[in-house]
């Protein structure tokens, strides 16, 4: 009688060295891809935070310019701001418009001090000047030409067009005469 060999008694179990190495390579590639995704998300989050802060500072600077007209005669204005535990710098520029009493104001905000070069993180544009017309004179224009006015919510009356729809529309609400319907 021959003795059985050990492989015949217990079939081999487990992984070969090649299978273990392939599995480790798959896990390593997956972890590397995951780390790239996480670092990209963190970088994007930091950039969006900086962009939001810069936009706030640009809008604040526009408000300061509107409230303080002493520097209106200059064409540029620069400065530094310490905000959110960081140093930022801004560049305010004034441009002429087609209206003589009005200027266009552009504020750009950069990360770092004034010596730092680079693209602005935020830019805001506003307008500054004296009134074009007297207050309340915009009522002289008919802003309803070509539009249809609907009755207020809760009323059962419907809007009826005057002039065949060519002019402004008016409605009779709760039995009262509306402007332009000929019932005075």
Map out the domains of the chain with their CATH numbers.
46-129 (3.30.1300.30), 146-177 (no CATH)
pLDDT at 148: 62
* pTM of the entire predicted model: 0.56
pLDDT at 60: 93
Q: How would you write the pLDDT of the chain (184 residues) with one tens digit per residue?
A: 666 565 556 666 788 999 999 999 999 999 999 999 999 999 999 999 999 999 999 999 999 888 886 555 577 888 899 998 999 999 999 998 888 888 899 999 999 888 888 899 999 999 888 766 666 666 665 656 666 655 555 555 444 444 444 444 444 444 444 444 444 4
pLDDT at 73: 58
Tokens describing residue 127: 């307008």
Q: Which residue has the tokens 């003795």?
A: 3
pLDDT at 176: 44
Q: Cα(26)–Cα(78) distance, rounded to whole angstroms?
A: 54
Is the separation of the CB atoms in 97 and 126 below 8 Å? no
pLDDT at 184: 43
């Amino acid at each position: 009688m021959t003795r059985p060999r050990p492989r015949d008694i217990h079939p081999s179990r487990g992984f070969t060295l090649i299978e273990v190495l392939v599995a480790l390579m798959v896990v390593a590639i997956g972890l590397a891809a995951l780390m790239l995704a996480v670092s990209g998300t963190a970088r994007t989050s930091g950039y969006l935070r900086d962009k939001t802060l810069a936009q706030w500072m640009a809008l604040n600077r526009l408000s300061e310019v509107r409230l303080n007209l002493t520097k209106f005669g200059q064409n540029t204005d620069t400065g530094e701001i310490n905000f959110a535990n960081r140093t930022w710098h801004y560049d305010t520029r004034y441009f002429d418009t087609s209206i003589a009493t009005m200027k266009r104001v552009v504020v750009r905000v950069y990360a770092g001090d004034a010596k730092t070069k680079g693209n602005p993180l935020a830019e805001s544009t506003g307008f500054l000047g004296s009134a074009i017309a007297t207050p309340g004179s915009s009522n002289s224009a008919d802003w309803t030409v070509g539009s249809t006015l609907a009755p207020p919510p809760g009323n059962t009356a419907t809007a009826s067009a005057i002039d065949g729809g060519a002019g402004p529309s008016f409605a009779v609400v709760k039995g009262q005469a509306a402007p332009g319907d000929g019932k005075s």
